Structure 1
Amino acid sequence: MSKTGIIYGVNGPVIYLKGNTGFQMSEMVYVGDEKLVGEVIGLNKERTTVQVFEETSGLHPGETVTATGDAISVTLGPGILHNIFDGIERPLDGIAKASGIYITRGMSMTSLDEEKKWPVHMTVKVGDEVRGGTIIAETQETKSILHKSMVPPDLSGKVVKVVPDGNYTITEPLVTIQKADGTEATVALSQKWPIRIPRPTQSRFPASKPLLTGQRILDTLFPIAKGGTAAVPGGFGTGKTMTQHQIAKWSDADIIIYIGCGERGNEMTQVLEEFGELIDPKTGNLLMDRTALIANTSNMPVAAREASIYTGITLAEYYRDMGYDVAIMADSTSRWAEALRELSGRLEEMPAEEGFPAYLASRLSAFYERAGDMRNLNGTEGSVSIIGAVSPQGGDFSEPVTQNTKRFVRCFWGLDKSLAYARHFPAIHWLTSYSEYLNDLAPWYRKNVAPRFVEYRNQLLAILNQESSLMEIVKLIGSDVLPDDQKLTLEIARVVRLGFLQQNAFHKDDTCVSMEKQYKMMELILYLNQKAKALVAMGMPMSVLKSENIFEKIIAVKYDVPNDKLEMFDDYHKSIDEFYENVLRKNG
């Protein structure tokens, strides 16, 4: 018999029920005559508090709330990829067919298609001992991804019945398992999992492999590890979404989960349209074949916005359990925090800094802590990397969401509006950004790229830091009074900024760059610096060096050397040697 309660108060997305309803904390409920989806968020003897994930206008005291007996959960199974969901995993395509361009209140729809038959290859047989995470069947979910159906984490026992290979829906029983107590349980292609509880794993590995993105400023200067966490803070128009798009398209993650959390509707529409058309450079198939999108725009109810990032991370953990590397793009956690603030205000909780709830930090940490490079229950290895955009009001990095996020992420890619307005993209500023993964990843770089990779990276950053110090002097008294060695530092820093850090997403050779090419570009710039320094030490003025046009030539390397013709770098080394000889010959 379902437990029920009667509404006695409505405050936006928060409703109150009088008396002891018998509901459980975090239980999913159906609210009112239209059966709006809600979740229990507060309980005491006198009152039950429920947050509703849909628009509550029209609700009134006296309507009935019915408990379901389950927590807010998502359906996990084939059909997640190449799909677009709202914040509580309702498929937007199905909703559009049923109700048009707006989501009708109380719309009840299964998350995944329960009528479609999938071609299933069974991987267990009668008599096998199985436990949580054991792979029982394989399905080609999309052209790019093989879906591996697993025993739910809380189930173990002996297989007593297996269906033959064939075509099955996600709800048809495939395997019957006899548990230790003699009872039997069936496993289908799909299973449910509560969004607020992390899926269990065997162990967590320390960071050791980078998530390669093809973006030079990220891979070389501020790398993120597989299973790592990164924040991308920046004001309006600085390129947070485009940075995430580039990572989604070019990173070496197997699967992308994109969460549009509280973004503007037109921006989210652009994301959905672009992702639907992009070709995956790794497989040649559509990028959507390994992507799931969660769209929760700013005009959707705030409670669903708060749930959307938990929905996304649960989907990511499910694919991680299959042994895939998953990257989550959360855009943006600031909008999620604003939803927390609004709900907290409705609940009349004591506000903390700037009105955010006192538990903002713990909620952020709980979210980012679900990232990691893991050994799964079935012995496979997989990772979840979280890249969260932060939208501080007015670009102020001292506000609470940015500051608390910095406490829990090990990678900080600070976007700068002055770079963005100067058309320098990615607009990640090298002085405000950092990565704490560098020491963890150094052995990988030395082994897989080049022994001196980290050393060269540090030299590049040192040049940029020297430029920053010198620019303080230049702003006061101009660059003409600087000695030639300092003028050279400024010129080499310009080569680094324009020729290495600035990247053109629309150029076929510059949009994504291999680690080998990144290293060769660094090596070339530092070789130019070494030769030019030697000339300056001999008394050659910078005006003479600049007249040779070598600096512009090295800046253009990113366009002039195709990604499949890296042997051309030898010619550029010779050009620098010729430049050195020419200056000596003309001015010796």
Structure 2
Amino acid sequence: MSENVIYSINGPVVKVKDTKDFSMLEKVYVGHKRLMGEVISVSKAATTIQVYESTTGLQPGEPVEATGGPISVTLGPGILRNIFDGIERPLKAIAETSGAFIATGSDVAPLDEEALWDVTVQVEIGDMVKGGQVYATIPETDLIEHRCMIPPFMSGEIIEVAENGKYRIHDKIVKLRDEKGIVHELSLIQKWPIKQARPVTKRLPISVPLITGQRIFDTLFPIAKGGTAAIPGGFGTGKTMTQHQLAKWCDADIIVYVGCGERGNEMTQVLEEFSELIDPKSNRPLTDRTVLIANTSNMPVAAREASIYTGLTLAEYYRDMGYHVAIMADSTSRWAEALREISGRLEEMPAEEGFPAYLPSRISQFYERAGYMETLNHQNGSVTIIGAVSPQGSDFSEPVTQNTKRFVRCFWALDKALAYARHYFAINWNESYSEYVTDLSKWYNKNVHERFLRNRQQIMSLLAEETKLMEIVKLIGSDVLPEDQKLVIEICKVIRVGYLQQNAFHAEDTYVPLEKQLRMMDIILYLYKKSKELVATGKPISEVAAQGIFEKVTKMKYDVPNDHIEMFDDYYAMIDEAIAKVA
């Protein structure tokens, strides 16, 4: 029986008096139900613990048990296709034992301990190995090969090897003797502390885009593999839907989706949709390369913080195997609110809007774990972080949005007016930006065409000009504008509706390859060039519009199939014909 007992309870915050048995960030078990907790403050007088489960019914005097190690996740085969809560408890397994709600103190193994995995050993007796080296491979799903790696900071000689065959996760596969002569038995799993970034050989320059097939992202505001992006937006502007579409279509190998403090019905929708979605690249279920972490708003508030780090650690584990991983965090605002609540219960001095003074450093630590890396086994892997932010009342000046903006290089601002006008994606092109364009320019020039970024620049300039002109139009109407400015408004309507707006339910428009995006921009800008030449001769733009050519170009996204982009050649003749009729 533990000598350390609970002295006080304040929501998820528990204090133990007069003890030196605990260390900072140590995992502990609290109370008779053995609730999981973490030490967050140590002083001579008291030790403070945040509990990751509901403390309802907990009483002073109940025991607190130290474990001697930090909160860690179990890493091994069986992570993919699974659904965990914020502290890596498998929700499907819990549902079988305790029903729809998680019972406090549920102690269920994170990974199925009875499942048999088909193991192929990759090392031999006498091999000298070091941290990160693959010693066994397992077909975890039809899409992903799981690579069991020597734990970081461990190296030595292989002295015993199991035969290829079927094993459970705790079965010993190899024995390793390190430099000190200590023998380590390695199974199919390893543990790793969630708040410690996994080591890599080096950080590589970011130079490869994360292709999404969504025009507004690939063209106007691209994100790189290993990059960071924020999707801020008020209620109902489409943050979750945007992340769903990116998860389905982006060219990452593995998706980690973290629902942090989201509404229960929204997470249910995510779980159901992801299980039904077919991966367009392989025609297999999308769950074959997806991990879901569901931490709904009715779950204990402290576990929201853990859910973010749990998702990151799982992402880094697969990155170390040489995969490109995209992590969707929805939403980091709920995580920040959890920090605020814990901070308030700890009676810390509040900063702006009641958030703790360390909010910026926590946000920066989270996004800093993204990156394009050379792993310990000299593979290339990346973790791309796309975090949703939920500012109250769509106020982007609030602390979470502003501090996130400081640490991400891609800002996809969702607009309430665009969302209510059914413009999907509701990304405001005036408030959004990407700092990756320069880094990715070589890749675009080499793999698509040099015209791609030139066209992008021209389209951005036209949209910026339209924004200025619309201010004038609101005051005095469009009739007084000169013809060349009327043309800008007309061509920007084609850009907005025909290019930036995308239909997620249309077979040809839900995903658009870069080659088609380039050709679409070519056509729009060719129409602008020809119309501008005509307007310069004194012809009104209304006569060109009367030919219906603007509507035809707007609809080309539906009319030209993704695998028949040669059909774009017909549009040049159509435009020339329409212009010739007016001229």
The reply to whether TM is greater than 0.5 is yes
Question: How far is 1:21 from its partner?
Answer: 3.5
1:293 partnered with 2:305: no
Q: How many residues align?
A: 583
Alignment of 1:446-485 (within 5 A): 446-485=445-484
2:437 and 2:370 map into 1 onto residues whose CA distance is: 18
Report the Cα offset of residue 115 of structure 1. Answer: 1.0
SS at match of 1:149: strand
Aligned match of 1:395: 394
Q: Report the AA paired with residue 261 of structure 1.
A: C
Partner of 2:86: 87
Q: What are the residue-to-residue correspondences of 1:406-445 with 2, within 5 Å?
A: 406-445=405-444
Aligned residue for 1:321?
Answer: 320
1:136 matched residue in structure 2? 135
Instruction: State how far apart, in whole Å, the 1-side matches of 2:524 and 2:334 are.
Output: 41
Q: Which residue number corresponds to residue 580 of structure 1?
A: 579
Partner residue, 2:99: 100
Match of 2:110 in 1: 111
State the Cα distance separating 1:320 from its structure 2 match: 0.1
SS of corresponding position for 1:262 = strand
Give the residue type in structure 1 aligned to 2:75. Answer: L
Written as runs of structure 1 = structure 2, the 5 A alignment for 1:18-167 is: 18-167=17-166
Cα offset, 1:342, TM superposition: 0.3
Taking the TM superposition and a 5 Å limit, the aligned residue runs for 1:208-223 are 208-223=207-222
Asked if 2 retains the 8 angstrom alpha-carbon contact of 1:4 and 1:67, the reply is no
Matches within 5 A, 1:504-515: 504-515=503-514
Which residue number corresponds to residue 255 of structure 1? 254
Residue equivalent to 1:180? 179
Residue equivalent to 1:367: 366
Conserved in 2, the CA contact under 8 Å of 1:29 and 1:37? yes
Give me the whole-angstrom Cα distance separating, in 2, the residues matched to 1:408 and 1:54: 31
Partner SS for 2:5? strand
- Give the % identical residues: 65
**Partners in 1 of 2:293 and 2:284 — Cα distance?**
21
Contact 2:2 2:63 in 1 (8 A): no
SS at match of 1:15: strand
Residue 486 of structure 1 corresponds to: 485
Residue matched to 2:517: 518
2:582 is matched by which residue type in structure 1?
Answer: V
**Preserved contact between residue 38 and residue 53 of structure 1 (Cα < 8 Å):** yes
Letter in 1 for 2:79: I
Q: Distance in 1 between matches of 2:579 and 2:382?
A: 48
Give structure 2 stretches of 5+ with no counterpart.
none
How far did 1:3 drift?
6.3
Paired residue secondary structure (1:7): coil
Amino acid aligned to 1:178: R
Partner of 1:566: 565
- For 2:178 and 2:43, how far apart are their aligned partners in 1? 37
Question: How much does 1:150 deviate?
Answer: 0.3
| CA–CA separation in structure 2 for the residues paired with 1:184 and 1:15 | 39
Give the Å deviation of 1:4: 4.7
Q: TM-score, normalised by structure 1?
A: 0.99
In 2, distance between residues paired with 1:420 and 1:342? 31
Q: What amino acid is the match of 2:395?
A: D
The offset of 1:573, in angstroms, is: 1.3
1:6 aligns to what SS in structure 2?
coil
- Displacement, 1:82? 0.2
* Local SS of the residue matching 1:536: helix
The answer to whether residue 191 in structure 2 is matched with residue 195 in structure 1 is no
AA paired with 1:84?
Answer: I
CA distance in 1, matches of 2:514, 2:127: 44
CA deviation profile, 1:7-61 (whole Å, cap 9, x unmatched): 0100000000000231111111110000001011110111000000000011111
CA contact (8 A) 2:430 2:464 kept: yes
Q: What residue in structure 1 maps to residue 537 of structure 2?
A: 538
Q: Which amino acid aligns with 1:448?
A: N
1:276 matched to which residue of 2?
A: 275
Deviates further, 539-548 or 424-433: 539-548
Question: Partners in 2 of 1:130 and 1:285 — Cα distance?
Answer: 35
The SS at the match of 1:121 is strand
Q: Distance in 2 between matches of 1:285 and 1:130?
A: 35
- The amino acid of 1:181's aligned partner reads K
CA RMSD, Structure 1 to Structure 2 (Å):
0.7
CA apart distance, 1:171:
0.8
**Are the aligned partners of 1:136 and 1:150 in contact in 2 as well (CA < 8 Å)?**
yes
Kept in 2, the 8 Å contact 1:3–1:23? The answer is no
Name the structure 1 match of 2:10.
11
| Aligned-partner SS, 1:313 | helix
Corresponding residue of 2:379: 380
Distance 1:331 1:181 in 2: 45
Equivalents in 1 of 2:365, 2:464: separation in Å?
35
Deviations 1:96-116 (A, max 9, x none): 001001100110011001111
Structure 1 Cα separation of the partners of residues 136 and 15 of structure 2:
45
Deviations 1:252-286 (A, max 9, x none): 00000000000000011000000010000011100
Separation (CA, whole Å) in 2 of partners of 1:325 and 1:543: 50
Residue equivalent to 1:231: 230
What's the secondary structure of 1:294's corresponding residue? strand
